[in-house]
Chains A and B, each alone.
Chain A
């Protein structure tokens, strides 16, 4: 080291004794005093305090002990109800356009240029249909959900959610800001994992990263919404269907929040022991949301980005599915072999082999779970003339028809409920796993974050199935 540098450090050390131990506090005090003085000179406050303060009135309501949580749940239910009922019509429209109209056109085009059957199958029945399905099913709910969520964010509601949840997170031994990363996870877990950077303590950050997967992400919302609509929504009169479906989706989402607390609590008492750190959370003023701008940014930043990712993963998945359904090994397709192998285990969990295979195929992106399930179910039950041939991803236009196919494949209400549970509690998608690895830089924590939820999923669905069967007497 340069001797000059050494001298500087030495005199700094010596001088530190000279100036007293409260140096740090004193300098901070001087800074604050000067800031106050300068601010006082520049700002004139109103002579009397306005009697009605809108911000404070809203805050008293949304962060109140009594009304805080009910309001939160009510707001969430309302958003999902809007999403579920509002997405129905555009979804159907996109579906009939992309699948009923464009798909036959493509098939006819392929036939007219004499495309070999396997190429036509891989490209049009595999890649195109998978993509078309993902677009028609995912785009409308996302185009409704994300702007609504972004408006709430722009308005300033998220920090209030964090404020409400803070004391629960503390009791769980986690950081209060985890409420924010958790809410971001409702959009996308990978984004949620990145947003844990606002948490300084590594211990609490790890807890937030590991539990972020319990925030139902947009790749899983469509699964929840569809299964809730066809299994639970159909149990009540039609006019209540949308509301009941929305409530059951909210129930699953809240179960995810509950699991976040429970798992955080368990982690902070076992492998991630430590003190809870304090922090100050500023409740920002409410600001009137800028509607147009919000629509635009949520469209570009969230909807299209997420949709693009889904398409990128759906394309190859469609190809792989088509090939596995058409690749015969001793007279039975590869896909069917897999389903048969996993079926006993699946049934034990109140699920089935098809669902488990679908979840393996869907590791890159949860978005394609439902189309994969439909395709495999038809394949296994022998089709009965439904769909477009082996290995074709498709969606039936009416929920009732979907229900019929699934019941034919041996599905019950239990299968539906357990699928919703398993969709909430299973391994993160590969993007999230990669993000966790990038953020933690540790293979160990990445493995724990990936395996813990899937093991929990097995346990929870197993017990649900056993208890259900005991009560229902099956």
Chain B
């Protein structure tokens, strides 16, 4: 892979005139991928990798960072959070591999780690790795992530699996419906990673305008309750980017979120906890301009 990239770089510089078209194409920047491994001295953006168990998060992680996280074909393999870095274009990225979860309701430690990271650490981009051959179930998680953040890229992975089952998955249709970029990949064989990088780059730099899909609850009472709470929440925590989600969680009696309101933590977003190192998190939130 490294070899391949180097070749491309050389080719690019030699025939600069010919590749003018290529240069304007976002995919072209993939030639600038530099896998940084665990070298994460400083970074411009933090990218989280979420997804259902066994969809290939660790494989994507390895492909982007050049690290060799152990991958295995069984759900629940990643129990700790792995971090690595890569450089793409002019930016340095820190990539965080979250444990695989089916939802973000925080009913288990895995879900709590994943949700707390997406919510409190406020990654600049959240990649949701999705199993194309089991789209319906995977979308449950996607919709929940979209309620928390709009800075999302869907990595429609395991396209080869879908092919094998003679399913046709339409990434454009999906992107239109979900309102965020969708990139088809086969991470095991490094297919589609260049497009994925381009999408990450655009979301991180705010070049993509996301209009994330909102689940329709079709319940006037609920809508009223939510909008009333949203007003209150936005009054108390003007920076909170996902007041609707917070309102829904409060209505559901989510202890963790209630606590975040009580502590005023929701407004500070300089979240520190043993497994979310304080330094890196506050760095992120300061830089993203969400804090204080």
Contact = CB atoms under 8 A, between A and B. Distances in A.
A84 to B, nearest CB: 25
B216 A30 contact: yes
Contacts of A154: 71-73
25 contacts: A4-B236, A8-B261, A26-B222, A30-B217, A31-B140, A31-B215, A34-B143, A35-B139, A35-B143, A39-B135, A39-B139, A41-B177, A42-B135, A42-B173, A42-B174, A50-B165, A150-B72, A159-B73, A159-B75, A200-B108, A281-B75, A296-B68, A297-B70, A300-B68, A301-B68
Contacts of A7: 232
A296 B218 CA distance: 52
Contacts of A198: 76, 79, 110
Contacts of B228: 11, 15
B191 interface: no
A391 to B, nearest CB: 39
Contacts of A200: 107-109
B136 interface: yes
A271 interface: no
A-B pairs, 5 with minimum CB distance: A198-B76, A35-B139, A39-B136, A46-B166, A12-B250
A59 B111 CA distance: 29
Given A31-B140, A44-B170, 16 more contacts: A11-B229, A20-B221, A24-B252, A27-B252, A30-B215, A30-B217, A31-B144, A35-B143, A42-B170, A42-B173, A46-B166, A46-B167, A156-B74, A197-B109, A200-B108, A300-B68
Interface stretch (A114-122, A283-291, A346-354, A393-401): A283-291
A82 B169 CA distance: 42
B26 interface: no
A43 B161 contact: no
A24 B253 CA distance: 9
B82 interface: no
Interface in B189-220: 213, 215-219
B73 A158 contact: yes
Given A30-B217, A154-B72, A284-B74, A43 B140 contact: no
A16 B236 contact: no
Given A5-B261, A42-B169, A42-B170, A18 B109 contact: no
Interface in B46-71: 53-54, 68, 70-71
Interface of B: 53-54, 68, 70-76, 79-80, 107-110, 133, 135-137, 139-140, 142-144, 161, 165-171, 173-174, 177-178, 188, 213, 215-219, 221-222, 225, 228-229, 232-233, 235-236, 247-248, 250-253, 258, 261-262, 264
Contacts of B177: 38, 41-42
Contact of A15 (B108, B225, B236): B225
Interface residues of A, number: 60
A297 B68 contact: yes
Contacts of B169: 42-43
Interface of A: 1-2, 4-5, 7-9, 11-12, 15-16, 18-20, 23-24, 26-27, 30-32, 34-36, 38-46, 50, 150, 153-156, 158-159, 162, 177, 180, 194-195, 197-198, 200, 281-282, 284-287, 290, 296-297, 300-301
A38 to B, nearest CB: 5
A5 B73 contact: no
A contact patch SS: helix
A309 B80 CA distance: 21
A282 B79 contact: no
A23 B252 contact: yes
Contact of A23 (B110, B215, B251): B251
A195 B80 CA distance: 9
A177 B79 contact: no
A36 B215 contact: no
A297 B61 CA distance: 14
A4 B262 CA distance: 10
A50 B251 contact: no
Contacts of B142: 35
A197 B113 CA distance: 12
A158 B72 contact: yes
A282 B166 contact: no
Contacts of A26: 217, 219, 222
Given A4-B236, A5-B262, A42-B135, A284 B75 contact: yes
Nearest to B169: A43
A15 B75 contact: no
A159 B54 CA distance: 11
A38 B217 CA distance: 15
A305 to B, nearest CB: 10
B249 to A, nearest CB: 9
